[in-house]
A and B are shown apart, each in its own frame.
Chain A
Amino acid sequence: MQEAPRVTATHPRVLAALGGSADPELRRVAVAAGNVVDPEIPVLTLADLGVLRRVYRPVEPDGKIVVALTPTYSGCPATATMAADVVRAAADLRSAVAVEFVLVPAWTTDDMSEQAGAALREFGIAPPGARPDPAGPIPLSLSVRCPHCDSRDTRRTSRFGSTSCKAMWACQQCSEPFEEFKVL
């Protein structure tokens, strides 16, 4: 089974989440939280998905480290599982954490790392394309490349797939159905 790429302390999202802190416990927690995988797309870590926002100690310490995550979609049911998995991963390191959810700035598919795209494709999900200009007219729907045979001869069968973040497509070349991670 395909595994998510390991996240280390030098991962850009981990570094950003730490905001320059050299606190070793924070760094361990940030790496552990970054390595938690999306329960619905297990080849994506929270770091690669770009939902790991901050790891810090609250101003009024209560013994817990705060891990701030941002949801991909407002109603994504995976967020509760992600939070529980982060708490568990930190507990394995004997660190107590509280997970908070932040909405600002809103998550976009541009927050995903480059290796996330490759991992998605290998997993059979077409990665999101470039984000259209939100001020522009209705974005043209360009064809999406089949993650199985690389053909561009594909057609969308539904704007909504098994989760909010995905659409359903079918490849006319290799006849395989596949999902696309929608641009957001």
Chain B
Amino acid sequence: MADMAEYLLWLGDDALVSAQRLGEWITNAPELEEDVALGNIGLDQLGQARALLSYAGELLGRNEDELAYFRDDVDFRCTHLVSLPRGDFADAVVRLLLVGAYSEQLYAALTTSADERLAGIAAKAIKEVRYHVEHAAGWAVRLGDGTDESHRRMQDALNRAWPYLDELFDPHPLTDHLDGIAVDPATLKEPALQRITAVLDEATLTVPATQRVAGGGRDGRPSEHLGPMLAVMQVLARAHPGASW
């Protein structure tokens, strides 16, 4: 049960932190339609996070709000990639593509999980994630294969994000303990990379030859950026615990 809760935190925290970062684009996107699009994608992820964290909370005796607002950065289990600062629009497109391609494989695999509730959440999420990846791929091609400047900025953003990609696919003893329920992240790497490189090819972008960063988000070693992000996300709930409107 503790293993299951931990696994749900992996998935739920990735979705929650990614949603929060996308929410930061509202009023900051390059055009109004994109404000709306990134906000909606974040909202889908927030919905997925709520389903996953509610489930984790039932196993841990805590509710979704307590998990979201009253845990510190070291208690989160998200990967470093999702918590990176907002950056520019190219960073948002690249991250949405990388995280989306991973999530697409993850949720597709989880639809056959032996845990029916998790399989149900995944079956719901996969349909939404396909739209997200399609959206990111459209922008990646338009900007990558666009002007000199848009190409350069996309390639720079890709170079910045790439070292964080491997962490998503790191094998971990936890998924061995949840045989048939969880998915070994390493098995998702090849199909996700296929999807990503197909888009990058079309976008005339080059797969960076950079060293990976250490990672450790799954084991309570979050990125340095998570704490400041949580401070903003959690301040209202912590200043007024239990408040509602």
Contacts and interface: CB of A to CB of B under 8 A. Distances in A.
Interface of A: 71, 73-77, 103-108, 134, 138, 157-164, 168, 182, 184
A137 B128 CA distance: 16
A77 B124 contact: no
Given A74-B124, A104-B116, A106-B123, A162 B44 contact: no
Q: Which among B34, B40, B48 has the greatest number of chain A C-beta atoms within 10 A? A: B40
B46 interface: yes
A71 B36 contact: no
Contacts of B131: 159, 182
B135 interface: yes
A162 B37 CA distance: 9
Contacts of A157: 33
B120 A103 contact: yes
Given A103-B51, A103-B121, 6 more contacts: A75-B44, A75-B50, A103-B123, A138-B134, A160-B37, A160-B41
A-B interface, 9 closest residue pairs, ranked by CB to CB distance from nearest: A75-B47, A74-B47, A160-B37, A104-B120, A158-B33, A75-B43, A103-B120, A106-B124, A160-B40
A104 B111 CA distance: 11
A59 to B, nearest CB: 19
A164 B36 contact: no
30 contacts: A71-B47, A73-B44, A73-B128, A74-B48, A74-B51, A74-B121, A74-B124, A74-B125, A74-B128, A75-B19, A75-B43, A75-B45, A76-B47, A77-B43, A103-B124, A106-B123, A106-B124, A107-B124, A108-B127, A134-B127, A158-B33, A158-B36, A158-B37, A159-B131, A159-B138, A160-B33, A160-B135, A161-B36, A162-B36, A182-B131
Interface string B14-35: 0000010000000000000110
Contacts of B33: 157-158, 160, 168
Interface of B: 19, 33-34, 36-37, 40-41, 43-48, 50-51, 116, 119-121, 123-125, 127-128, 131, 134-135, 138
Q: Which among A71, A75, A76, A134 has the greatest number of chain B C-beta atoms within 10 A? A: A75
A107 B125 CA distance: 11
B200 to A, nearest CB: 16
A74 B120 contact: no
Nearest to A102: B120
Contacts of B40: 160, 163-164
Given A103-B120, A162-B36, A74 B135 contact: no
Contacts of B45: 75
Given A74-B125, A75-B50, A103-B120, A159 B44 contact: no
A161 to B, nearest CB: 7
Given A103-B120, A104-B116, A138-B134, A74 B50 contact: yes
Given A74-B51, A164-B43, A184 B36 contact: no
Contacts of B47: 71, 73-76
Nearest to A160: B37
Given A73-B47, A74-B47, A103-B120, A160 B127 contact: no
A75 B46 contact: yes
Contacts of A184: 127-128
B22 to A, nearest CB: 11
B106 to A, nearest CB: 15
A31 B182 CA distance: 40
A138 B130 CA distance: 9
A162 B33 CA distance: 9
